[in-house]
């Protein structure tokens, strides 16, 4: 069965929905888990963050394995891990089994975080790669919204958190079926000598002239030895490594998953009860999806670097305003309103910029022969940074307070804007092969100047 172009992109991005659901559902479930199991702040911090330990393993294993066995097989494997991990979490008889199940589930989350944007980037035409690759982030936001709805619907059930965690098995099954039907990445097929099969896939999603031109360009870049770990850190790839790893760390240290995982806790600090905090998060989730959808539609109209700088400044200002609200406090009703507004401002800045753009750039910035390995390492870096922030938030919140914590996140956001300006090069409008050629010739700075660098209008 041959899938249409739209279905290919849909199923290709579906792993992002599971990524979003499985990481977002813990925001509401953790409140019930902590109450039922009588866990301390440090213990619930580990329950929330244990999935990230598995994500580190998944990022290390699954993306590099896609260089050896293909993107399609790894999508199918990821779906199976999602399915088993979700069922294991729902059926956990105690907290130890829950932690193990969530860590296993994290393998799929980490694998999907690297695999999905890379797969979409390799199938998308250059002039649509930003929008199509950022479908991953839109799916993540939709997954989070579904998680927040599940949190609210089952919040009063005697097996509420079990239902919340177990529902992820449904989209996991859909992803498995879709993975079986998905085509392999044409760039992977050319790399392993299956040119004719690659061309047939491209003919399904491009015009004949576009497909033929792209095959020739891919072939020109594919006649290289298989990439190894030392190649990732070779001198000519260094600009991509610095940019990708820096973006991966800063995206997390700017506090995004602090908001996603602990938004109900932050709202409850403003005097909101648990049920209202979970309900409010649904509205935040709807906001996530709308802002991300708009960002996806506009992704290829603005340079990636400018979008990242603008987003970092917006997030920084939001954190400074949030810290001021917590410092002044005053009327609890007004405090709750300002907390919601500044969280929404932060979220809109993140979802429109660093959320989708970081993953788009991770999937397109590395050369073909090391792409799977390098994307896996960059995802590993991202998940380690995620874990350090997520596991420490409840403890830091208790020790240094919300005001100091939010100011710290705001300062990191401002630092991130300077990092992008100094170390990140532009990728919008270029084919993956042109980006690789610029790295090879040490001309990545020219990619920042559209007037000096020629962009081939192949697509």
Q: What are phi and psi of 183, to 5 degrees?
A: -80, 160
User: pLDDT tens per residue, the chain (459 residues)?
Assistant: 566 777 888 888 888 888 889 877 887 787 788 888 777 777 777 777 788 788 888 877 887 788 888 888 999 999 999 999 999 988 888 888 888 999 999 899 888 877 887 888 788 776 777 777 778 778 888 988 898 888 888 888 888 888 999 999 999 998 899 888 888 888 888 888 888 888 888 888 787 887 878 888 777 766 655 667 777 788 888 889 999 999 999 998 888 766 666 666 666 665 566 666 667 778 777 887 888 888 888 877 888 899 999 999 999 998 898 888 777 765 555 566 777 777 778 888 888 899 888 888 887 888 877 887 888 888 888 888 877 877 777 677 677 777 788 888 899 999 999 999 989 988 887 878 888 888 887 767 777 765 334 333 332
Q: Which of 197, 297, 201 is nearest to 4 (CA)?
A: 201
Two tokens at 448? 């920042």
Q: What are phi and psi of 426, to 5 degrees?
A: -75, 145
Measured between alpha carbons, how far is 350 from 346 in angstroms, rounded to an integer?
6
Measured between alpha carbons, how far is 117 from 134 in angstroms, rounded to an integer?
7
Measured between alpha carbons, how far is 232 from 371 in angstroms, rounded to an integer?
9
**Cα torsion at 258, 260, 262, 263 (round to 10°)?**
120
Cβ within 8 Å of residue 175, ≥6 positions away: 11, 14, 15, 17, 18, 75, 78, 79, 82
Domains and CATH numbers, the chain: 5-183+224-448 (1.20.1250.20)
- Furthest C-alpha separation in the chain: 68
- Backbone torsion region of residue 292, taken as left when φ is above 0, otherwise alpha when ψ lies between -120 and 50, otherwise beta: alpha
Q: Which of 190, 308, 398, 191 is nearest to 202 (CA)?
A: 190
Would you state the pLDDT for residue 2? 67
Measured between alpha carbons, how far is 362 from 248 in angstroms, rounded to an integer?
8
CA 184, 190, 195, 198 torsion: positive or negative?
positive
Would you state the pLDDT for residue 226? 61
Would you state the pLDDT for residue 265? 63
Would you state the pLDDT for residue 107? 92
Q: Are 386 and 52 in contact (CB under 8 A)?
A: yes
Q: What are phi and psi of 119, to 5 degrees?
A: -60, -45
Would you state the pLDDT for residue 455? 35
């Amino acid at each position: 069965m041959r899938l249409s172009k739209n279905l290919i992109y849909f199923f290709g991005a579906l792993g992002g929905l599971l990524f979003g659901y499985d990481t977002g559902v813990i925001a509401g479930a953790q409140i019930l888990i902590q109450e039922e199991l009588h866990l301390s702040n440090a213990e619930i911090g580990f329950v929330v963050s244990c999935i990230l330990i598995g994500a580190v393993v998944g990022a290390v294993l699954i993306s590099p394995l896609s260089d050896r066995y293909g993107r399609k097989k790894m999508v199918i494997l990821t779906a199976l891990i999602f399915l088993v991990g979700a069922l294991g979490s729902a059926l956990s008889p105690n907290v130890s089994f829950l932690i193990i199940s969530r860590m296993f589930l994290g393998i799929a989350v980490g694998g999907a975080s690297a695999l999905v944007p890379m797969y979409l980037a390799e199938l998308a035409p250059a002039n649509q790669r930003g929008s199509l690759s950022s479908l991953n982030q839109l799916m993540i936001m939709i997954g989070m919204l579904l998680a927040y709805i599940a949190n609210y619907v089952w919040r009063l059930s005697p097996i509420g958190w079990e239902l919340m965690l177990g529902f992820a098995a449904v989209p996991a099954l859909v992803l498995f079926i879709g993975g079986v039907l998905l085509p392999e990445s044409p760039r992977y097929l050319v790399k392993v000598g299956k040119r004719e099969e690659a061309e047939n896939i491209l003919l399904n999603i491009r015009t004949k002239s576009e497909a033929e031109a792209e095959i020739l360009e891919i072939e020109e870049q594919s006649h290289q030895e298989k990439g190894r770990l030392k190649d990732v850190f070779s001198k000519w790839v260094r600009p991509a490594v610095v940019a990708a790893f820096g973006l991966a760390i800063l995206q997390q240290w700017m506090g995004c998953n602090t908001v996603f995982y602990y938004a109900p806790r932050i709202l409850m600090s403003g005097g909101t009860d648990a049920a209202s905090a979970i309900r409010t998060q649904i509205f935040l989730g709807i906001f996530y999806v709308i802002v991300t959808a708009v960002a996806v539609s506009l992704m290829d109209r603005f340079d990636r670097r400018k979008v990242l700088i603008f987003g970092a400044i917006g997030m920084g200002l939001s954190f400074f305003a949030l810290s001021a609200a917590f410092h002044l406090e005053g009327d609890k009703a007004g405090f709750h309103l300002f907390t919601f507004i500044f969280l929404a401002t932060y979220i809109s800045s993140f979802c429109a910029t660093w959320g989708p753009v970081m993953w788009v750039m991770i999937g397109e910035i590395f050369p073909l022969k090391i792409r799977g390995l390098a994307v896996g390492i960059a995802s590993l870096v991202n998940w380690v940074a995620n874990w350090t922030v997520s596991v420490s938030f409840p403890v830091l919140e208790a020790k240094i307070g919300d005001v100091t914590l939010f100011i710290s996140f705001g300062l990191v956001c401002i630092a991130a804007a300077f990092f992008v300006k100094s170390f990140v090069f532009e990728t919008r409008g270029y084919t993956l092969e042109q980006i690789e050629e610029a790295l090879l010739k040490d001309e990545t700075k020219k990619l920042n100047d559209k007037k000096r660098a020629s962009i081939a209008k192949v697509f």
